[in-house]
Amino acid sequence: MATLVGTFFHSHGGSTSMPPDLWREQRLRRPIRDDVPIEDDEANAEKAARTHEGFRVLREKVAELEADVLVVFSDDQQECFDFNNFPGFAIFVGERFTKSTRRRGGPDARQAGRHAELGFAFNGHPELATALLTGVMKRGFDPAFCMDMPKPDRGLASGVIRTAEELTDFSLPIVPVMMNLYFAPQVTGIRSYQFGRAVREAIDEMPGGLRVGVVASGGLWHTPGMPGAWLNKEFDHRTLECLKVGDARGMAEHFDSYVIPAGDTSQDTGRRARNVTGMPSLGGPALGTRETCAWIAAAAVTEGRPTTIVDYVDVYASPVGNAFAYCDQP
């Protein structure tokens, strides 16, 4: 039987890659709500250091637990899919997948953190990917599957690439699982919970001695680029309280029961735009905050088990709650 070695949770947004001396400028440039703090370079540098320390703790944990492969729950942000055809769940079953050949912010943009070369090829794991695909199909899910990337210059979902870059030595095989967590109507918290449970059962029934880690990449609260963006720390703290005690279902209920306040322009998905479908979101926060559902799915994999919250860093450049956690008692 395959062995689950643990679950790992991390944010992946722009501030995990952007040098902190650029954060203040971003805060001032973006249409962020007036009451969101404007922090100085010193405060931002301290928060960037905590963010990269969060990655380091997770990277060492993955190595210590001797994972042979990571399953990564994250989202496609039009790297592979677009509004011609956007699946709720998709599993990459191919041998290799690549990073985009284009650098965000232009070819000379400075970057913080660990980054592979543009176009770098990471290893997939077709055997585990196929076992997960068929395993969840036996349990009521019908994900799309991908054997290759339709837009080679865009590569695979950057959320998955960020896990590969920050949590691995760049050679550890990865099974990318793309959930629609950005474009309304996205998958719900409870559906993500159920998916995570199905993945756990599929891992448990896989023959052989593979040591599997499961990662959530994304979140927590963020609505990048939206007018009136703000940071709902209370919402994130409740999510983390549930995660800490292994209450994955509680995370889903907390997520799905959130009601977007009237007049909150930062979560308005009602008007069609470049990154907005114009269709309504189901219950729960909209836009990037929905990536919290990747955390819910991974938490469901280790439901009932205590989880270590490494850090929660409130960054106001976007703004975003950058968080890090792991469960090593699966």
Nearest residue to Fe ion, using CB? 218
Min separation Cβ 222 and Fe ion, Å: 8
Min separation Cβ 216 and Fe ion, Å: 11
In the complex with Fe ion, which residue's Cβ is closer, 178 or 210? 178
In the complex with Fe ion, which residue's Cβ is closer, 2 or 315? 315
Do residues 17 and 111 make contact, with C-beta atoms less than 8 angstroms apart? Answer: yes
In the complex with Fe ion, which residue's Cβ is closer, 88 or 218? 218
Min separation Cβ 138 and Fe ion, Å: 30
Helix 248-256 to helix 189-204 angle (10° resolution) is: 160
CA angle 35, 113, 192 (to 5 degrees): 70
Positions touching Fe ion (CB under 5 A) are: 218
Q: Structure tokens of 74?
A: 């994250």
Largest separation between any pair of C-alpha atoms in the chain: 55
Q: Is 66 left (phi over 0), alpha (psi -120 to 50) or beta?
A: left
In the complex with Fe ion, which residue's Cβ is closer, 218 or 321? 218
In the complex with Fe ion, which residue's Cβ is closer, 4 or 122? 122
* DSSP code string of 188-254: PHHHHHHHHHHHHHHHHT--S--EEEEEEE--SSB-TT-TTB---HHHHHHHHHHHHTT-HHHHHHH
Min separation Cβ 78 and Fe ion, Å: 12
Min separation Cβ 242 and Fe ion, Å: 21
In the complex with Fe ion, which residue's Cβ is closer, 155 or 218? 218
Phi, psi of 96 (to 5 degrees): -140, 150
> Amino acid identity, residue 268?
D
Min separation Cβ 77 and Fe ion, Å: 6
Tell me the CB-side half-sphere exposure of residue 316, using CA atoms within 13 A.
17
